[in-house]
Chain A
Amino acid sequence: MTDESPTPEPPSSRVAGSRRRRSAQKIAAERQRQKSRTLWLGIAAVAVAGLVVAGIVLTSRRQMEATAPAGVQTFSDLPVGHTPDPVTYAQNPPAGGEHDPVWQNCGYYAEPVRNENAVHALEHGAVWITYQPDLPQDQVAALRELAASQSHILVSPMDGIPAPVVASAWGQQLQLQSADDEQLQQFVRRYRLSPGAPEPGASCSGGTSATV
């Protein structure tokens, strides 16, 4: 820092000159005050902005990158128990709940599978795509290809479902008018092996491949 010389002293005897000088000093002081106020406001603004940015950077949590498609229905607090008995599910097709001790092996099925086994596959993080038996063959072929391209995708026909194609994951469900709807890909991306399933990543093989 530079060292300062004392402010020049106005001789008190020369009143008029002193007054003029004082008013000049006042103007200069006012100017100086404004200048430093602007400086401080600037510094404060930058500081606040900087702290806000730092705060956002430090506190932001990682969010799941994939967004759920519009129209997904969510069901919470589904029980995870095992039972060998038939289960009446609250959703059609089932989207989770009590299930058979044996899980359905993932992949494509041309015949319906047992709900209680399929729900166990949902527990392992599978996406279960059910289709109405009269779905056009090219759409069925597309679903079959989808099941072959990934792990943890179960495809099976089902009577009486509320839309031509219904995609389900544990606690999540989406009705689709067609297998070509891009929302199906979005659903698979968002929910296949997602942490929302009770046991994501547990094998979707080594169970049963039985149909009903």
Chain B
Amino acid sequence: MSGSMALDAPAAADPAPPHAQSRRWLLAALAAMLLVAVLAAAVGWRAWDRAPADDSLEAGFARDMIVHHDQAVAMALLAQERTADPAIATLATDILLTQQNQIGQMLGWLNVWGLPATGIGAPMSWMAPAADAGADGMAMPMEGAMPGMATPEELEQLRALSGDDFDAEFLRLMIAHHRGAIPMAEAALVGSDVPAVRDLARSIVATQQAEIAAMTALLEQQGPATPTPSP
């Protein structure tokens, strides 16, 4: 500002000489800019801190994969107890420790996101947008049942087996279980941009594929009498 001070009395009495007025506008503009900056920082912080919603793909994936993994842990615990084959015992320990750890990760996300571990929708409904596009009669074929899960009857039957029969049935059920987890993890990779979710989904796809190969090899060692399950 370069205006010279008006020295005469009447002008000095004026409460709003032009130079003072423009100083006010400058102050107002600065205040407005500060306000916008604070608001932008708050909104930016929130955006950075954003957590998936209750009906998000991420929450659905975490919840369903916890249940899916929990069954793998249950079957692996049973295998540790029943098998006489050290290779299968080691595999079971590996599966159980890995998947129990991943259950903890997913439960941790839900906790940090402020979401309960139980959703409102049916299992697999987070994958429904893709399935919904299908014909009316066949809408959401996945919903309500998670792929690869052993039925209570299959688990009951497994519990009744021992020796080689147990080993073969355990491997068959676990191969099918892993094959079911992979499309779930792939759906999360396609639909989520949350780094932690993508990292875990990628890890599930890679390691469970490798374990399917290892289990298929173990099953083949068992002899030609036990056919491998169809995908």
Q: Chain A residues in contact with chain B, CB under 8 A?
A: 1-7, 9-10, 22, 25, 29, 32-33, 36, 39-40, 43, 46-47, 50-51, 53-54, 57-58, 62-66, 105, 107, 125, 148-152, 188-190, 192-195, 200-201, 203-206
Contacts and interface: CB of A to CB of B under 8 A. Distances in A.
20 contacts: A1-B1, A2-B22, A4-B22, A7-B6, A7-B8, A7-B11, A29-B16, A32-B16, A43-B31, A47-B31, A54-B39, A64-B116, A66-B118, A151-B66, A151-B67, A192-B117, A193-B118, A194-B117, A205-B73, A206-B81
A114 B1 CA distance: 86
Interface residues of B, number: 58
B210 to A, nearest CB: 23
A204 B107 CA distance: 15
A10 B6 CA distance: 13
Interface string B74-107: 1001100100000000000000000010011001
B3 interface: yes
Interface of B: 1-4, 6, 8, 10-11, 13-19, 21-22, 24-26, 28, 31-32, 35, 38-39, 41-43, 45-46, 51, 54, 66-67, 70-71, 73-74, 77-78, 81, 100, 103-104, 107, 111-120, 123, 152
Instruction: Give the dominant DSSP class at A's interface.
Output: loop
B101 to A, nearest CB: 10
Given A3-B3, A43-B28, A204-B70, A25 B14 contact: yes
B116 A201 contact: no
Contact of B4 (A6, A46, A47, A50): A6
Contacts of A205: 70, 73-74, 77-78
Contacts of B22: 1-2, 4
B77 A194 contact: no
Contact of A192 (B31, B46, B71, B116): B116
B16 A36 contact: yes
B38 A51 contact: yes
Contact of B107 (A53, A57, A105, A193): A193
A152 B70 contact: yes
Given A204-B70, A205-B73, 10 more contacts: A1-B22, A1-B26, A7-B6, A9-B8, A51-B35, A57-B43, A58-B46, A64-B115, A193-B117, A206-B73
